[in-house]
Amino acid sequence: MGLAAKPKILCLCDAKNDTNVVEELRQDFEVTEVHSPLRVLAKLRSSPFSGLFISTSHQEVSTRIGNLLENEHILDGMPDGVAMLDRDNTIVWLNSCLQRWANRGDLVGHNFYAALNSPEILGPDYCPFHTAMTTGQASGSTLRTEDNRYFHVHAAPVLTPAGPPNHLIVTVRDVTEEVIQRQKLDAIHRAGMELADLTTEEIFNMEVSERIELLKSNILHYTKDLLSFDVIEIRLLDQRTGELVPLLSVGIDKEAAERELYAQSTNNGVTGFVASTGKSYLCEDTSKDPLYLEGFKGAKSSLTVPLLLHDQVIGSFNVESPEPRAFTNSDLQFLEIFCRDLAVALNTLELLVAQQANTAQASVEAIHSAVALPIDEILNDAVSLMQRYIGHDEEVVGKLKNIIQNSRDIKRVIQRVGEKMTPAKAVPASAKQEQRPLLRAARVLVADADESVRSAAHALLDRYGCDVETAHDGAEALCMVRAGLHSTGYDVIISDVHLPDMSGHQLMVQLGGIITPVPMILMTGFGYDPGHSIVKARQAGLLPNAVLYKPFRLDQLVETVERVMTAFAGTASP
């Protein structure tokens, strides 16, 4: 008959001073020695014990151990991982969530990174534990494990009054779903951008019908491989009749694909409702939805999203499934993002179709766009040089004025040639340019360090007959205005709120010393105005509605220019 096993107890003791006490305990118990309160927590988590013995040398921490045990119970129930590390990144304690994520044995005493199979550190801090320990400030980073899981770690030092920190509290949050969703969103956006992305050679060599087929092929590729949709139907809205004309259908019954539908909220199914309201519609159960019209036999759920271009409905995108509640809110979000880019691609295709009727016009505009900024550079340099010679060498000043005038004439000649080559009757109705008489021959100065903004100003305003000139910074803009080469000055001056050498408000104030009043428009990106330049400019006389937020639409630009021109008509004086 075997001897009964001794009860297991955990003994918190001093390795040097409690030897005799431990030996006495071993006579009746199986003793496991630990020498710190944290090791008590670690051992109690990893192994069952019949009791805990605390020697007199550690009597003062007995209450603290009770508190730690209570706090551990709370931390153990957290949905995030929590660990305490020493200065060598060794795990002193961890909760069950982190233990479960690591999916290994007892991790106490192991290196934190090794416990997670040496994950890749993605930043922003590539040494978050070292940073937290040496600076005494919290730090964080994102980790990617070999099984493609993502964790965000936040390390905070345990500060003590006695000296530098020796331990870190590390919280670990599983962000895999968030990261993967963000990656999918990025992939969907890239796919949408590539839908109608044609090279110059492809545009030149392909007929319109071939471009349409290429777009259809790309749509099918991305909706199947990226969005995992097998049954789809795309219709385009005829703005004149309101009919939703089929563009592409896959998996839809022939009768349903040929069904006449209109952008009306009743009697035209979910597709008609979505096109009339501009709102997406998630049909979780087709058998219980009064709006649903059968797309294919056996369809149990559907998801329909409007194709929106600048907030205007141009069509609809419908997907269906034989499974009820097959689509989630994430599917809805993904499809809406894809459809925004698809709407842009379809609009691009429409412009390419219109290209057949206005090839000459496009060529002239391309030439004008190519020479606009170089001519502006010539104007800027010539005006700057002329300022130096005024009062010193009138012959040089006269020649520079001729250079400036000839540069301006080049742009005007290109514009007039384009008008002769593309009379209005040759342009289809869908491609005709809206008439803006007030902008005809309007003199506009645009100051922005970004070349793309200066180029866009030419592209957007030149088409209405504006005489656009640009400057890189405030000094160039002041020089152009000071030169006074336009008999009545500029009708509108558009400036970024943050130029390389001054703010938009500072430019406006300095312009006030040259012209009165200042017909100013300020531009800012996404409302970013750290120096409160817009507020100061308004106090100095900027019109309340003379602000453009990048990226702005064409109609916002021209309407703002027209408002400022109307407000200051006939008031400018040098």
Domain that holds residue 411: 357-427
- CA diameter of the chain: 125
Say if residue 448's pLDDT is above 70.
yes
Tell me, what CATH number does 228's domain have?
3.30.450.40
Q: How many helices (H) and strands (E) does the chain have?
A: 19, 20
Of residues 514 and 201, the one with the higher pLDDT is 514
**Last residue of one domain, picked from the residues 34, 54, 76:** 76
Phi-psi region of 123 (alpha: psi -120 to 50; beta: other; left: phi over 0): left
CB-based burial label for 12 (10 Å; 0-12, 13-18, 19+): buried
Q: Measured between alpha carbons, how far is 81 from 538 in angstroms, rounded to an integer? A: 52
Gyration radius of the chain's alpha carbons: 36
Q: Please tell me whether residues 65 and 84 are part of one structural domain.
A: no
Q: What is the mean pLDDT of residues 170-199?
A: 76
Shared-domain flag, residues 408 and 293: no
Domain annotation covers residue 179: no
Higher pLDDT, 213 or 487: 213
User: Each residue of 114-141: pLDDT tens digit?
Assistant: 989 899 999 899 999 999 999 989 999 9
Q: How far apart are CA 250 and CA 283, in angstroms?
A: 19
pLDDT at 408 over 60: yes
Q: Peptide bond before 544: cis, by omega within 30 degrees of 0? A: no
* In a shared domain, residues 264 and 154: no
Tokens of 360: 């000459």
Tell whether 255 and 396 lie within a shared domain. Answer: no
Element (H, E) at 173: strand 167-174
The pLDDT score that the predictor gives to residue 260 is: 94
Question: Which are the contacts of 542, defined by CB distance < 8 A and separation ≥ 6?
Answer: 508, 520, 522, 534
379 and 328 within one domain: no
151 part of a folded domain: yes
pLDDT band at 456 (very low <50, low <70, confident <90, very high): confident
Name the pLDDT band for 319 (thresholds 50, 70, 90). very high
The string of pLDDT tens digits covering residues 5-14 is 788 888 888 8
* Residue 2 located in a structural domain: no
Q: Are residues 212 and 348 in the same domain?
A: yes
The pLDDT of residue 81 is 87
Query: Do 363 and 422 have their domain in common?
Result: yes
| Plot region of 524 (φ>0 → left; ψ -120 to 50 → alpha; else → beta) | beta
* pLDDT, tens digit (0-9, with 9 covering 90-100), for 285-315: 999 999 999 988 889 999 999 999 888 999 9
**How many domains does the chain fold into?**
5
> Which has more confidence, 149 or 77?
149
Predicted local distance difference test score (pLDDT) of residue 244: 93
Token look-up 């009743």 returns: 266
Same domain, 382 and 338: no
Confidence band, pLDDT 50/70/90 cuts, at residue 59? low
Answer yes or no: is 140 within a domain: yes
Q: List own/partner pairs for 358-365 with CB under 8 A and 24 or more apart.
A: 358/422, 358/426, 358/427, 358/428, 358/431, 360/418, 360/421, 360/422, 361/418, 361/421, 361/422, 361/427, 364/414, 364/415, 364/417, 364/418, 364/421, 364/422, 365/418, 365/459, 365/462, 365/463
DSSP 196: T
Q: 428: pLDDT confidence band, cut at 50, 70 and 90?
A: very low
Angle between helices 394-421 and 359-389 (to 10 degrees): 170
Are both 100 and 196 inside the same structural domain?
no
Same domain, 446 and 559: yes
Q: Are residues 450 and 504 in the same domain?
A: yes
The structure tokens listed for 361 are 């016009």
- Between 108 and 47, where is the model more confident? 108
Cβ-Cβ contacts under 8 Å for 63 (sequence gap 6 or more): none
- Is 135 in contact with 164 (CB distance < 8 Å)? no
Q: Which of 326, 354, 382 is the last residue of a domain?
A: 354
Domain-located, residue 281: yes
Kindly indicate the confidence band of residue 482, based on its pLDDT and cuts at 50, 70 and 90. confident
Average pLDDT on 84-91 reads: 89
Cα 531 to Cα 250: distance, rounded to the nearest angstrom: 54
With a CB cutoff of 8 Å and minimum separation 6, the contacts of 457 are: 444, 446, 448, 468, 470, 494
Question: First-to-last CA distance in the chain?
Answer: 116
> What type of residue sits at position 13?
C
Final residue before a domain boundary, out of 290, 325, 354: 354
Whether residues 134 and 249 fall in one domain: no
* Residue 180 placed within a domain: no
The tokens for 367 are 């030439």
CA distance 166 to 90: 11
Residue 430 has pLDDT above 60, yes or no: no
Sign of CA dihedral 204, 207, 211, 214: negative
Instruction: Please indicate, yes or no, if residue 106 is contained in any of the structural domains.
Output: yes
Check which CATH number belongs to the domain holding 160 and give it. Answer: 3.30.450.20
322 lies in some domain: yes
Looking at the chain, the whole-number percentage of residues with pLDDT higher than 90 is 28
